[in-house]
Structure 1
Amino acid sequence: MPGNVTSQAVIAGTAQREREGWDDASRGNASWFTLFCADRTPTSAMSAGIMELSPAGGILEPHRHRQAEIYFVAEGTGILTIDGVETRISAGTAAFIPGDAEHSLRNDSAALLRIFYVFPTDRFADVVYRFPGEGD
């Protein structure tokens, strides 16, 4: 839908979306479902989805991106690290991550960790993840 001038109301769930993800030592083993994204849905201004980290070891390695990001923990518990500061997060917790802040997330519990995330950009593809050792 690139080039759309107007957005439309969209209702989306993970059952209607394809699982994407990484299983890579430098990036982690996170998976996600892109719910709203201008190149997939008639939406603009924001992109959002659900990220999942597997029990006991799921991880999104430290990284940065230009855009700020919001996390909302929908299910589970884990450790969110932002610019070196670790915080335990659990269902009902929200976090604002400033643009270019280094952050990572790990699931150290025996249950699935599900995070709703939002970026202030039309397309998820506009978010360039920069991991150490990949040119950061």
Structure 2
Amino acid sequence: MIKRSQAVITTAEERPRDGWDDPVHGAISWRTLLSGDITPTDSMSAGIAELNPGGELKPHRHDPSEIYFIFEGTGIVRIDGQETTVKAGTTVFIPGDAEHGIRNESTTNLKFFYVFPTGSFADVIYRFPVA
């Protein structure tokens, strides 16, 4: 029998907060909304990330491409060495294996929706440069 995806309707408040706060990864929190290991979904995973003022997701790589949609605040996205200011309403496509990171240099929180074309967030292996 083939296991099929199901429709899922959820909110960030229903999902646990996860994150990093260390020199290698930076300081970022997120809530995974859709992922095959926690929801009856496949082929995509998504969530909401938040950077407090001064917070940063350090430059890293992963095999799947990724989309960010900034819905609150402003920040700086760096993709393969090129920095661009992003703000509410900005959409960013990050090619697979591109080195990228995002930081919040403002005085308010930066929040963005992220999507991966993989069934489970656990499939995304983050690779940070060795210091």
Q: For the superposition of Structure 1 and Structure 2, which TM-score range results when normalised by the shorter chain?
A: over 0.9
- 1:1-136 maps to which residues of 2 (within 5 A)? 5-55=3-53, 57-133=54-130
**Runs (4+) off by over 6 Å:** none
**AA of the residue aligned to 2:25:** R
* Equivalenced residues, count: 131
RMSD of aligned residue pairs (Cα, Å) = 1.3
Deviations 1:43-94 (A, max 9, x none): 1100000000001x10000000000000000110000000000000000000
**AA of the residue aligned to 1:80:** V
Runs of at least 5 residues in structure 1 that lack an aligned partner in the other structure: none
In 2 relative to 1, CA 98–130 (structure 1 residues): closer, same or farther, beyond 3 Å?
Answer: same
Deviation at 1:5, TM superposition (A): 2.0
Q: For 1:130 and 1:64, locate their aligned partners in 2 and report how far apart those are by CA, in whole Å.
A: 5
Larger strand percent: 2
Q: For 2:16 and 2:118, locate their aligned partners in 1 and report how far apart those are by CA, in whole Å.
A: 20
Deviations 1:5-54 (A, max 9, x none): 21111111111000000011011011000000001001110000000000
Amino-acid identity (%): 60
Q: Secondary structure at the match of 1:22?
A: strand
Runs of at least 5 residues in structure 2 that lack an aligned partner in the other structure: none
Deviation at 1:4, TM superposition (A): 6.8
Conserved 8 A contact 1:21-1:32: yes
TM-score after normalising by structure 1 = 0.94
